[in-house]
Every structure is written in structure tokens, then in C-alpha cells.
Amino acid sequence: MSIHSEVKRVTTHTLQKMKAAGEKISMITAYDYSFAGIFDEAGIDIILVGDSAANVMVGHETTLPITLDQMIFMAGSVVRGARRAFVVCDLPFGSYQGNSKEALNSSIRIMKESGAHAVKLEGGVEIADSIKRIVDAGIPVMGHLGLTPQSIYKFGTYTVRAKEEAEAEQLIKNANLVQEAGAFALVLEKIPAALGKQVAEEVSIPVIGIGAGMHVDGQVLVMHDLLGITKDFSPRFLRRYADLRTDVLNATQQYIRDVRSRDFPNAKEQY
């Protein structure tokens, strides 16, 4: 019997049941095997291999430059670290916007080459046919509306989205379209809490928020933000649960001091 068979994997069905039961869903990003293993052991429900990797792993200013090959590499590492969590991988910018066939081909590559359990796409009406085509091929799709970082140059800012009535109405329409196209869940990023509540009540699929208030069905944060690794990023929605940046800085400085002073390695730390 494989060790993996002892743990019951979270599925889209589990997530749907959690929404129905009013149980909140926890989601976090990860990009490698080691952190994925820790988050999985902690009991996280969903691990997102987000294209935020472009920022926090690769050092780009926006999410646009990350490639499909890079996402597949990271998703494969995360999948190997996660025994229970449901692993979702972002389709990066340029890998799905062309047409639904391109979207399907990119999704198939992610599923085959990384072993991820689902893909995530940003957008509403403009990608509804792609969502349908991917879902028809048996691949679960998570939608993403509100602040969509892949369109940053269209909007020009990372401010709160859908504050005005017309934009809020459009978002509600898009949420319904994403659901009708077959998505199993939806991420809402940086929108008013009242709108997050309205969408979560209107659609039957789980709605996961990042800066979408307390009434949605679950929450997601980027691991580097939650763990206090990033600095100079303090949106109102972010709660930091650790100060790893300081811990790592202190540990590294102590290590340097110990090497320089010949304290490390000592007699017990050698062969």
C-alpha cells in the first residue's frame, strides 16, 4: 500500500461540501516542495502555485514575465510535497488569452507535467469559452475576478476594484458566467466586503477571498506575506502571522559571526 493512500486528498467535492456546511476554506500559495510539505502538514485545504511567483520567487515587478515552463516546474515540486491539500496552478499570462485551444493545451501541460489537480485563470466573459473547454476536458478550473494582476497595465493601479456600481454589477455577471462555464471555485481579489458577500451568496461554488472581506467562503494569502518574508507590502487585508524575514536575517548573521570567529563547526560538529 502506498503511503499516499493513507491520507484523504481534498477534492473539488470536499470544497463544495465545506461551502454547503458553512466551513471556511483555507488556501495559501507555495512554490516549492519544502514549504508545500509544511503547509500540508499544518492542514491547509488548498495550495495555490500562484503566478505571484513572478514577484516573490523570481523578483519581477509584475506577474507577467513568468512562463508556463517555470510554473510547471514549481507546481511539480509543490505536488510532491502535498499529500492532502488540493493543488491549483495558475495559468500564466500569455498561456491562455489567445483562444480556448491554447488555454486547453496549456492546462493539459500543467496537469500532465506537474501533476497539479486544477488550474486557475484570470477573467470573466472574455475567457468563459476557455473555462468551458478546459472543464469539458476533465480539468477543474478556478476563476479569478476583481483585481486581476495579469491586467495591471490595462488598469494602471493595484487599488480596490468594483467600488462603483457599474463595475460591481459587471463583476457579479462575470462571477455567474464563470460558474456557468463550469468553474468549481472562484477567487475574488481586493473588492469591497459587501460585494464579496453578495457574490458568495449568489453563486453556489466556493468563493475564496484575498481582500474580499469576511463573508466569503474561504481566504487565501501569499505565503511570503503571511510569513513576513516580504517587506514594504502592507495592504489592509494582510495579516502577518510570523516575522520570518527578521528570523532568517538574525540566524544568518549569527551563522556568519560563528564562522568568522571559528565557533562553527566545533569539535562535536566534525568527523
Under the rule (CB under 6 A), what is the footprint of ligand KIV?
Answer: 29, 48, 50-52, 90, 187, 189, 210, 220, 222
User: Rounded CA gap, 158 and 168, in Å?
Assistant: 16
Q: For the purposes of burial, counting CB atoms within 10 Å of the CB of 80, is it exposed (0-12), middle (13-18) or buried (19 or more)?
A: middle
Query: Cβ closer to ligand KIV: 63 or 179?
Result: 63
Closest separation in Å from C-beta 49 to ligand KIV: 8
User: Rounded CA gap, 171 and 197, in Å?
Assistant: 13
- Name the residue whose CB lies closest to ligand KIV: 50
Query: Cβ closer to ligand KIV: 52 or 77?
Result: 52
The partner residues of 100 in beta bridges, in order of sequence, read none
CA-based radius of gyration for the chain: 20
Closest separation in Å from C-beta 147 to ligand KIV: 9
Query: Cβ closer to ligand KIV: 155 or 255?
Result: 155
Tell me the C-alpha to C-alpha distance, in Å, between residue 150 and each of 52, 90, 116, 143, 234: 10, 11, 21, 13, 20
Query: Cβ closer to ligand KIV: 175 or 222?
Result: 222
- Show the DSSP H helices in the chain as ranges: 12-21, 33-42, 53-56, 68-81, 100-114, 128-136, 152-155, 165-180, 193-202, 223-226, 244-260
Q: Is 167 a catalytic residue?
A: no
Closest separation in Å from C-beta 221 to ligand KIV: 8
Question: Considering 41, 164, 167, 189, which one is annotated as catalytic?
Answer: 189
**Contact at 8 Å (CB) between 216 and 209?**
yes
Closest separation in Å from C-beta 51 to ligand KIV: 5
Residues with catalytic roles? 189
